[in-house]
């Protein structure tokens, strides 16, 4: 009770304590908002760098370094979740609890100080009563003294009548009696006040102050516990955050540069063999050059050589040129067309191939020795279009084609398994319907079972088709010792369809070049013009029609089979090599011997 006279100061101090508590609540609330904002930013950051589904970026995440980065993004997402946990726990355990406690504290404080004010008002009322009784006693005493003095004066005066003296004596006695009554009242009030004052200062006020002290101490303890909880909430998520960081470290340690390098090799290796040595080109013998300056041929047997496309494209060899442009250098089938049934030899045909003066092996043959053969490309447009490409992936290098075919086979097998699972489920359902007709009609699933059987059969045929292509590719991979030369010839043959759109210099079927002076002049064009010709994705226009005079079995790559009397479209004339390029429909085109067809050119054709 040492602060019994500091009631007002205690009231100010307890209000300050509540203000401190509310300030701490506001601090924690702002901390939770920061945690939520931080978690949201972390999640947005993780989402921003997540690979997009069904995109090329998603395919890049097969490498260990990118997988480690993806693991880091996922862990950062979990890391953000822990900050959300911090915010939630602080809100529920600190902010919410303290807010309710502050409301209770305010009510309790209000009650205690109300009791204190009531006690003060009571003691003040007692004091006022004491003062009033004291003043009344003092007044009565003074009046009694004056009445006594007046009586004594009247009694000593001989001129005053006896009746006046008696009246003064009675008045003095009355005043003395009133003074005695006031004295008794004052004494009683004084005793009562002293008792109330003692009760006030030694009982009521100490009890009230004790309650206020306990209230204040609970507030102090509560804010200390909240600060401890503040730290514990953070400490509880530290192990999980540590696990997130450990996972990030583990992902970083899983990065394998050797494995990534090997995956790049596996992803991009084409199956082609590297080129051999290039023969020396002797420019000191210009008179012995037999073909145009724009020829791709390169003599092996006699050491003669020809320059490439021109000064701008000189030395532009595989693998330093684009694959699609390299493929466009290939020509028509590298063998002479067969003679018609009525002819003794190809030379008897007016449109037969021109016999070169000197046999030369074109440089494209040497390129093709380094490349793996591909299945027949029915239409060169399918290679140039931006679409999905041929069904057998023949527009890809051998190794890439093998992977695509294997993926297709696996995908079809999975589809077959799904269809078989569905068929098995329907079969069981049908058995149940047969045993319990009330559950359903067994005949209602027959149609679906038939559909599933047809689907499975179609998928199996597809699997057989792709497995055949896969076996063909695996049998032609350059790892086999006897393959390279055979692959070269096949690759040259299958890609023959694209040569006429890029150059006028023609290769005869036996592998030599024709010697047309006008063609030499036409081929002297810059390499940029050569490149630009392949940017056009439009198919070759028809320039006329033709009628098959004989049946021709197109067994070689780049050729097409025709039946006697069949009418077809001509899309490229014979350039002197004995072959004419024709088209049956949008997807079937190839070369046939010129002597096997009768050509009707359109006069308006370009």
pLDDT tens digit string along 530-556?
444 444 446 678 888 999 999 998 878
Q: Give me the long-range contacts of 380-384 (CB less than 8 A, separation at least 24).
A: 380/328, 380/495, 380/497, 380/498, 380/501, 381/537, 381/539, 382/587, 383/324, 383/327, 383/498, 384/324, 384/534, 384/537
Helix H segments across 157-289?
162-199, 205-253, 257-268
Mean pLDDT within 477-489:
41
Among the four given CATH numbers 2.30.30.40, 3.40.718.10, 2.60.34.10, 3.40.1350.10, the one describing domain 544-601:
2.30.30.40
- Residue 28's nearest CA partner among 118, 115, 105, 95 is 95
Look at residue 564 and tell me whether its pLDDT is greater than 80: yes
pLDDT per residue as tens digits for the range 137-196: 899 899 889 888 888 888 888 787 888 888 888 888 898 999 899 889 999 999 999 998
pLDDT at 38: 96
Going by pLDDT thresholds of 50, 70 and 90, the confidence category of residue 386 is very low
Going by DSSP bridges, is the β-strand pair 588-593/597-601 parallel, antiparallel, or unpaired?
unpaired
Look at residue 571 and tell me whether its pLDDT is greater than 60: yes
Distance CA 150, CA 314 (A): 155
pLDDT at 3: 55
Structure tokens at 110: 């209000």
**Residues with Cβ within 8 Å of residue 406, at least 6 apart in sequence:** 470
pLDDT per residue as tens digits for the range 494-515: 333 333 333 333 333 344 333 3
Going by pLDDT thresholds of 50, 70 and 90, the confidence category of residue 270 is confident
Distance CA 438, CA 436 (A): 5
Q: Which parts of 55-192 are beta strand (E)?
A: none
Task: Assign residue 578 a region (left: φ > 0; alpha: ψ between -120 and 50; beta: otherwise).
Answer: left
In this structure, of 269-273, 440-444, 460-464, 478-482, the range with the lowest mean pLDDT score is 478-482
Q: Could you tell me if 229 and 30 are in contact, meaning their C-beta atoms sit under 8 angstroms apart?
A: no
CA Rg value for the chain: 56
pLDDT at 310: 39
pLDDT at 232: 95
Q: Could you tell me if 87 and 35 are in contact, meaning their C-beta atoms sit under 8 angstroms apart?
A: yes
- Residue 578's nearest CA partner among 360, 348, 365, 379 is 348
Look at residue 387 and tell me whether its pLDDT is greater than 70: no
Distance CA 502, CA 2 (A): 111
Look at residue 395 and tell me whether its pLDDT is greater than 80: no
Mean pLDDT within 225-253:
94
pLDDT at 160: 78
pLDDT per residue as tens digits for the range 40-49: 999 999 999 9
Distance CA 561, CA 553 (A): 5
pLDDT per residue as tens digits for the range 64-88: 998 899 999 999 999 999 999 999 9
Look at residue 293 and tell me whether its pLDDT is greater than 70: no
Residue position matching structure tokens 């004995």: 578
Question: CA 463, 469, 475: angle at the middle one, nearest 5?
Answer: 130
Mean pLDDT within 239-265:
91
CATH homologous superfamily, domain 6-264: Arfaptin homology (AH) domain/BAR domain (1.20.1270.60)
As a residue count, the chain comes to 606
Distance CA 566, CA 568 (A): 7
pLDDT at 284: 82
Question: CA 541, 496, 356: angle at the middle one, nearest 5?
Answer: 105
pLDDT per residue as tens digits for the range 86-113: 999 999 999 999 999 999 999 999 999 9
In this structure, of 131-135, 430-434, 482-486, the range with the lowest mean pLDDT score is 482-486
Average of per-residue pLDDT values in the chain: 75
pLDDT at 105: 94
Mean pLDDT within 470-483:
61
Q: In the chain, what are the domain boundaries?
A: 6-264, 392-474, 544-601
- Residue 226's nearest CA partner among 18, 35, 15, 25 is 25
In this structure, of 208-222, 391-405, 511-525, 590-604, the range with the lowest mean pLDDT score is 511-525
pLDDT at 476: 62
Residue position matching structure tokens 């002597």: 595
pLDDT at 448: 85
pLDDT at 416: 92
Q: Which residue has the higher pLDDT, 489 or 588?
A: 588
pLDDT per residue as tens digits for the range 339-372: 666 543 333 334 443 333 333 344 444 444 444 4
Structure tokens at 24: 């701490």
| Same fold: 6-264 with 544-601 | no
């Amino acid at each position: 009770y040492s602060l019994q006279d500091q009631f007002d100061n205690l009231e100010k101090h307890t209000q300050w304590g509540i203000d401190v508590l509310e300030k701490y609540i506001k601090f924690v609330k702002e901390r939770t908002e920061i945690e939520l904002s931080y978690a949201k930013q972390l999640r947005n950051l993780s989402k921003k760098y997540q690979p997009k589904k069904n995109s090329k970026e998603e395919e890049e995440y097969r490498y260990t370094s990118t997988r480690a980065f993806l693991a880091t993004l996922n862990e950062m997402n979990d890391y953000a979740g822990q900050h959300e946990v911090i915010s939630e726990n602080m809100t529920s355990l600190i902010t919410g609890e303290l807010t309710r406690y502050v409301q209770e504290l305010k009510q309790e404080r209000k009650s205690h100080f109300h009791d204190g004010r009531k006690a003060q008002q009571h003691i003040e009322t007692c004091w006022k009563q004491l003062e009033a009784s004291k003043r009344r006693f003092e007044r009565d005493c003074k009046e009694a003294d004056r009445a006594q003095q007046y009586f004594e004066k009247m009694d000593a005066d001989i001129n005053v009548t006896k009746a006046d003296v008696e009246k003064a004596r009675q008045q003095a006695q009355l005043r003395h009696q009133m003074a005695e009554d006031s004295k008794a009242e004052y004494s009683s009030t004084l005793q009562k006040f002293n008792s109330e004052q003692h009760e006030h200062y030694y009982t009521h006020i100490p009890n009230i102050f004790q309650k206020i002290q306990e209230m204040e101490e609970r507030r102090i303890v509560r804010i200390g516990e909240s600060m401890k909880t503040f730290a514990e909430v953070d400490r509880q998520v530290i192990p999980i955050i540590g696990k997130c960081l450990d996972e990030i470290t583990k992902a970083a340690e899983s990065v394998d540069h050797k494995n990534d390098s090997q995956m790049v090799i596996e992803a991009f290796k084409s199956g082609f063999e590297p080129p051999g040595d290039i023969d020396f080109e002797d420019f000191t013998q210009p008179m012995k050059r037999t073909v145009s300056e724009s020829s791709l041929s390169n003599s092996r047997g006699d050491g003669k050589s020809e320059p490439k496309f021109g000064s701008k494209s000189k030395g532009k060899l595989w693998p330093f040129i684009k694959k699609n442009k390299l493929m466009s250098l290939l020509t028509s089938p590298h063998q002479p067309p067969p003679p018609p049934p009525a002819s003794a030899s190809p030379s008897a045909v007016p449109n037969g191939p021109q016999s070169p003066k000197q046999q030369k092996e074109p440089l494209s043959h040497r390129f093709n020795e380094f490349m793996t053969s591909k299945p027949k490309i029915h239409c060169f447009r399918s290679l140039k279009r931006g679409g999905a490409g041929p069904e057998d992936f023949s527009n890809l290098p051998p190794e890439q084609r093998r992977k695509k075919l294997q993926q297709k086979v696996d995908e079809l097998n999975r589809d077959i398994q799904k269809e078989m699972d569905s068929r098995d489920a329907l079969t069981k359902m049908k058995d149940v319907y047969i045993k319990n007709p009330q559950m359903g009609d067994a005949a209602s699933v027959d149609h679906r079972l038939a559909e599933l059987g047809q689907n499975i059969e179609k998928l199996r045929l597809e699997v057989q088709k792709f497995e055949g292509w896969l076996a063909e590719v695996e049998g032609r991979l350059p790892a086999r010792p006897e393959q390279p030369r055979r692959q070269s010839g096949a690759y040259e043959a299958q890609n023959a369809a694209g040569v006429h759109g890029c150059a006028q210099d023609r290769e005869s079927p036996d592998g030599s070049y024709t010697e047309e002076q006008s063609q030499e002049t036409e081929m002297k064009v810059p390499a940029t013009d050569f490149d630009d010709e392949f940017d056009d994705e439009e198919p070759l226009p028809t320039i006329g029609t033709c009628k098959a005079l004989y049946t021709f079995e197109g067994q070689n790559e780049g050729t097409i089979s025709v039946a006697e009397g069949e009418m077809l479209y001509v899309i490229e004339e014979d350039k002197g090599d004995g072959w004419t390029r024709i088209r049956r429909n949008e997807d079937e085109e190839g070369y046939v011997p010129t002597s096997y067809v009768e050509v009707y050119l359109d006069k308006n054709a370009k």
